[in-house]
Amino acid sequence: MVRIACDLIGAARRGVDEVYRTLERALRAAAGLDALTLWELESDRFKCVFSSGGRYRHYCDATLSALAAGSPLGEARRTGRSCEAEPPLVPLQAADRAGLAIPLENLPLVAYLSLAVKPHESTSRLLGEICTIASAALAVARDRADDRIRATYDGLTGLLTPRAFRSELAARLREAPRVRIVPRIALAFVDTDRFKEWNDRYGHASGDEVLRRIAGMLRAHAAGPEDLAARNGGDEFCLVWTDCEKSSAILRAESLRNSIATAFVEEPVAITASIGVAAYPIDARTAEELLEAADAAMYDAKHSGRNRVAFRRT
């Protein structure tokens, strides 16, 4: 059991999926396991988040009613105890020779084990103890995953955080000189106009909704899967287009500017955006230089009357 605990704790450092796989190996070593499925309770339904064994692979991402009569999953969740899939409970598959549903402590998860034979009481107890250890490991893995998400994505807008954005941009530009065909990367630095006036008039909750709306527009203008949209802090945003010439980036930035202006044109405080555009490698060779060039262009747009796109002429 000590070895199992060490394996599960080690797996927690590598992620939730690794804990699932380590749990499956531990259960298989402890009993005649045909298959393992893990079911997460969402409202009144269980969703399969992990499955192993040929007969059970089709269950992955499937859902089952938590209220269905005879469900060992529902009974295990309701009672907080392990439940064998025997009358009046029904196995998940009729071909199961034996089934055992085990709730995972302090988590909305139930493990369903398809077994080669009906487990002895001591075996059931051992399987339950393994699942208890797995519960703690999963809690750690999920907390670590949540921490990574919070560090990567802004809580208000869902866009990349400044730190995550700069890290990703720097990594891309470090790799760029090493590839045979130098990539074209364009950066738009977006600063909203009159946002403070909006906040003063309508309050910060309304201002937050404005930022969420603008974030949605940035996502809509991120054309490709490799493009990046980030909140730079406050009411500033950044958008990176990959495989994009500077001339195309200027046109895309103008389209974004127009979308923002149009969205708020009927409002008493007409929110607009000043946008600066810079491109790699024509304007900069590093991420820091690219950000500085786009930021300087944005200030040119701001000082030239706002609600416009500016760029360094080369």
Do residues 131 and 168 both lie within one domain?
A: no
Number of domains in the chain: 2
Question: What type of residue sits at position 211?
Answer: L
Backbone angles phi, psi at 273, to 5 degrees: -140, 140
216 within a domain of the structure (yes/no): yes
* CA-based radius of gyration for the chain: 27
pLDDT single digits (tens) 223-252: 788 999 999 989 999 999 998 999 999 999
Instruction: For residue 18, give its domain range.
Output: 2-150
Q: Indicate the residue among 116, 150, 184 that finishes a domain.
A: 150
Catalytic positions are: 235
pLDDT at 206: 95
pLDDT at 40: 94
Choose between 89 and 147: higher pLDDT. Answer: 89
Q: Indicate the residue among 150, 172, 190 that finishes a domain.
A: 150
Contacts 24+ apart (CB under 8 A), 44-50: 46/73, 46/74, 46/110, 49/20, 49/109, 50/17, 50/20, 50/24
pLDDT exceeds 90 at position 179:
no
Do residues 53 and 107 both lie within one domain?
A: yes
pLDDT exceeds 80 at position 55:
no
pLDDT single digits (tens) 295-313: 999 999 999 999 999 998 8
16 within a domain of the structure (yes/no): yes
Do residues 127 and 40 both lie within one domain?
A: yes
Contact 231, 156 (CB under 8 A): yes
pLDDT exceeds 80 at position 181:
no
Do residues 138 and 175 both lie within one domain?
A: no
CATH of the domain at 296: 3.30.70.270
> How far is 259 from 273, CA to CA, in rounded Å?
10
Do residues 176 and 301 both lie within one domain?
A: yes
pLDDT single digits (tens) 271-294: 999 999 999 999 998 999 999 999
> How far is 66 from 78, CA to CA, in rounded Å?
9
Do residues 11 and 128 both lie within one domain?
A: yes
157 within a domain of the structure (yes/no): no
DSSP state at residue 270: -
Q: What DSSP letter does each residue of 194-244 carry, written as one string? A: SHHHHHHHH-HHHHHHHHHHHHHHHHHH--STT-EEEEEETTEEEEEEES-
Q: Indicate the residue among 150, 172, 192 that finishes a domain.
A: 150
pTM: 0.62
> How far is 99 from 86, CA to CA, in rounded Å?
8
Do residues 87 and 34 both lie within one domain?
A: yes
10 within a domain of the structure (yes/no): yes
What 3-state class would DSSP assign to 245? coil
pLDDT exceeds 90 at position 3:
no
CATH of the domain at 132: 3.30.450.40
Query: 27-48 burial, b for 16+ CB within 10 Å, e for fewer?
Result: bbebbebbbbbbbbbeeeebbb
79 within a domain of the structure (yes/no): yes
> If pLDDT is split at 50, 70 and 90, which confidence band does 263 have?
very high
pLDDT exceeds 70 at position 178:
no
